[in-house]
């Protein structure tokens, strides 16, 4: 069955119940401002904003958008790009595209005008939906686009080059077009994170989406009484596929704009959220706010909160240990996945395996995994190799890129590019990205291992380890360290003393006290760090 059938079922079974809540803690009146290179919309006056829709309204809104698309000539197999911040209309628009048989193409809200044009043309988009925050970028993008496509605008003051989504859909039929959909039909194009240059277009079919939904529900046991707090961007596979568990169970979800600890706790309190998916920096900020007394847990109703899980990047064991000491009743899960292996955990720890925290775990529901050497042979337990996964959620291909597809899809297995090992308990441990391994004096050094060690230091908020060029050793490991606010007095010498517990060859040869940049899905932007702290900037500096 296609995933849109879950929406139809929920509308019939739970039509009057709340499906989605959108919460923005501080916007309603808006003004346009310029921030860096982006034209943004910012609150003129902070006013809490909240909006709800029921399952029947959700379903009807998706039907109206599907019919609007069809009235503009969009047909099965065409591509509909979505460039929106998280909002109440995001998911109905996504499902409207699917319901008319189109391929949904979510775009990263950080994309520049050049990247927007690149992705629209790479995906061969036939229509675009965009929001208020992107008017300036779209104005810049228009002259660079090679062909015109229908553009629908979500917001007030529709620009001259687009059509008003709200006005048009209000005049469209709310009847379901019931376009026949099958598992092998193309469903969505997602883009790689873009931390290594312009992204690749990743094509998935309806079987992938369906399996993501079933995997999430199997891993975390969502029931109709659960309430999921969705904070990460919906354009990314992670956030949306974790929400798919709510879709399967017909339960409420809260879409929150804002990552401040107090904002998160207020949303959990107000809507009695039971499941929260966090990124590492947000979990760190929460623990730090509690530690500093900025969050008083007694002020919030949290007894219903049963599960916290993290994905998108390696999770320091020290972080989870600290979290469990503060929230001992929480179940915890680590979710490992890629956009190429869609959704919530082709490998996951599992809430039953908390004693193995630090590992990414075992093959997820319906998935297989193995670890191979450069020749493609499985390695012995304990040895490091490349992690490969296989299952119903694998991408069909990199769209219009058969060469790149052939490099990573081999005999039905996806070569993830992540180095890993499997312990005596069958648990998989992520060692590092294949391309991030530092080779120093012929020795392989895995930055994640050093990062995990440094994260146990109570003064360190965030850390990234990269390789820097060195004439004698080829590369040396350098640690970029972001200190907690109360530990600004900590010096490079203090960090070097702490690192004496590491084997000599793993000790960072350079300590840099600075902010650690992460993208919207929580991944450390190591290419940016390599550019910032490359040989041209460090060659004359002393190596510690």
Q: Is residue 273 part of a domain?
A: no
The token pair that represents 371 in the structure block: 């670890």
Whole-number pLDDT of residue 173: 96
**Domain contains 130:** yes
Give the tens place of pLDDT for each residue, 102-155: 999 999 888 889 889 999 999 999 999 999 999 999 999 999 998 899 999 999
Q: Decide if 47 is inside a domain.
A: yes
Predicted local distance difference test score (pLDDT) of residue 470 = 75
CATH number of the domain encompassing residue 69: 3.40.50.980
Q: How much is the pLDDT for 520?
A: 65
Domain endpoint, select from 212, 244, 276: 244
For the cut 70, the answer to whether the pLDDT of residue 30 exceeds it is: no
What is the predicted pLDDT for the residue at 314? Answer: 67
Rounded CA gap, 462 and 162, in Å? 42
- Whether 314 is covered by a domain: the verdict is no
Q: Which of 198, 228, 244 is the last residue of a domain?
A: 244
Instruction: Name the DSSP class of 353.
Output: G
* pLDDT at 253 exceeding the cut of 70: yes
What is the rounded average pLDDT for all residues in the chain?
88
Asked if pLDDT for residue 363 goes beyond 80, the answer is: yes
> What's the pLDDT tens digit per position in 426-451?
999 987 676 777 877 656 787 878 88
The CA distance from 214 to 369, in Å, is 18
Q: What tens digit of pLDDT does each residue of 45-60 get?
A: 445 688 999 999 999 9
Look up the domain containing 201 and give its range. 4-244
The CATH number given to whatever domain includes residue 529 is 3.30.300.30
**For residue range 154-189, what is the model confidence (pLDDT) as tens digits?**
999 999 999 999 999 999 999 999 999 999 999 999
Q: How many domains in the chain?
A: 2
User: What value does the mean pLDDT take over residues 329-355?
Assistant: 89
H or E stretch at 359: none
For the chain, report the end-to-end CA distance as a whole number of angstroms: 60
What residues have CB less than 8 Å from 492, skipping those under 6 apart? 511, 513, 544
Q: Are 69 and 80 in contact (CB under 8 A)?
A: yes
Instruction: Tell me what percent of the residues of the chain surpass a pLDDT of 70.
Output: 90
Query: Do 322 and 284 meet the contact criterion of CB atoms below 8 Å apart?
Result: no
pLDDT band at 535 (very low <50, low <70, confident <90, very high): very low
Query: Has residue 496 been placed in a domain?
Result: yes
Q: Is 311 within the bounds of a domain?
A: no
Model pLDDT, residue 139: 95
8 Å CB contact between 419 and 385: yes
Query: Looking at residues 476-481, what average pLDDT do you find?
Result: 90
269: confidence class by pLDDT, cuts 50, 70, 90 = very high
Residue 511 lies in a domain: yes
Residue 441, pLDDT score: 60
Q: How much is the pLDDT for 298?
A: 95
Flag whether 197 is in a domain.
yes
- pLDDT for the residue 435: 72
> 321, 328, 307, 319: which is closest to 355 by C-alpha?
321
Task: Give the pLDDT of residue 370.
Answer: 96
Q: Tell which of 203, 218, 244 closes a domain.
A: 244
Determine contact, residues 106/78, Cβ cutoff 8 Å.
no
């Amino acid at each position: 069955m296609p995933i849109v059938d879950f929406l139809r079922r929920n509308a019939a079974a739970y039509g009057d119940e709340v499906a989605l809540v959108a919460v923005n803690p501080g916007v309603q009146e808006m003004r346009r401002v310029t921030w860096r290179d982006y034209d943004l919309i910012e609150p003129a006056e902070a006013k809490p904003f909240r909006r709800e829709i029921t399952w029947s309204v959700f379903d009807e809104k998706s039907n109206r958008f599907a019919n609007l698309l069809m009235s503009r000539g969009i047909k099965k197999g065409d591509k509909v790009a979505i460039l929106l911040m998280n909002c109440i209309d995001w998911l109905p628009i996504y499902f409207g595209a699917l319901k008319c048989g189109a391929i949904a193409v979510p775009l990263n809200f950080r994309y520049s005008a050049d990247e927007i044009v690149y992705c629209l043309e790479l995906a061969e988009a036939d229509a675009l939906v965009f929001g208020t925050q992107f008017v300036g970028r779209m104005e810049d993008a228009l002259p660079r686009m090679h062909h015109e496509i229908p553009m629908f605008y979500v917001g007030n003051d529709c620009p001259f080059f687009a059509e008003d989504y709200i006005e048009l859909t209000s005049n469209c039929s709310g009847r379901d077009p019931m376009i026949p959909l099958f598992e092998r039909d193309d469903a969505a194009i997602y883009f790689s994170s873009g931390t290594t240059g312009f992204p690749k277009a990743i094509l998935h079919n309806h079987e992938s989406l369906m399996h993501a939904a079933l995997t999430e529900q199997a891993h975390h046991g969502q029931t109709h009484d659960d309430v999921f707090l969705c904070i990460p961007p919906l354009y990314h596979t992670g956030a949306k596929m974790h929400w798919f568990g709510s879709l399967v169970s017909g339960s409420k979800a809260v879409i929150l704009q804002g990552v401040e600890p107090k904002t998160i706790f207020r949303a959990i309190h107000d809507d009695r959220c039971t499941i929260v998916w966090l990124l590492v920096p947000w979990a760190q900020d929460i623990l730090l706010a509690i530690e500093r007394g900025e969050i008083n847990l007694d002020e919030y109703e949290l007894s219903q909160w049963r599960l916290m899980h993290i994905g998108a990047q390696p999770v320091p064991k020290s972080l989870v240990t600290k979290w469990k000491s503060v929230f001992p009743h929480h179940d915890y899960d680590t979710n490992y996945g890629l956009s190429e292996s869609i959704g919530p955990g082709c490998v996951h720890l599992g809430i039953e395996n908390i004693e193995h925290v630090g590992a990414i775990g075992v093959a997820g529901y319906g998935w297989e995994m193995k670890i191979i050497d450069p020749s493609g042979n499985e390695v012995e337990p304990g040895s490091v190799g490349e992690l490969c996964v296989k299952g119903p959620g694998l991408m069909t291909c990199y769209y219009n890129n058969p060469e790149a597809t052939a490099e990573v899809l081999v005999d039905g297995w996806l070569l993830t590019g992540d180095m890993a090992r499997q312990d005596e308990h069958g648990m998989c441990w992520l060692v590092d990205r294949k391309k991030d391994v530092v080779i120093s004096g012929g020795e392989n050094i895995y930055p994640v291992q050093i990062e995990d060690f440094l994260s146990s230091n109570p003064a360190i908020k965030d850390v990234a380890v990269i390789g820097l060029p060195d004439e004698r050793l080829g590369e040396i490991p350098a640690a970029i360290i972001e200190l907690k606010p109360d530990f600004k007095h900590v010096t490079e010498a203090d960090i070097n003393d702490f690192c004496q517990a590491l084997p000599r060859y793993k000790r960072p040869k350079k300590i840099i006290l600075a902010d650690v940049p992460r993208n919207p899905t929580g991944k450390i932007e190591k290419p940016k760090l390599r550019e910032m702290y490359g040989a041209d900037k460090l060659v004359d500096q002393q190596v510690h």
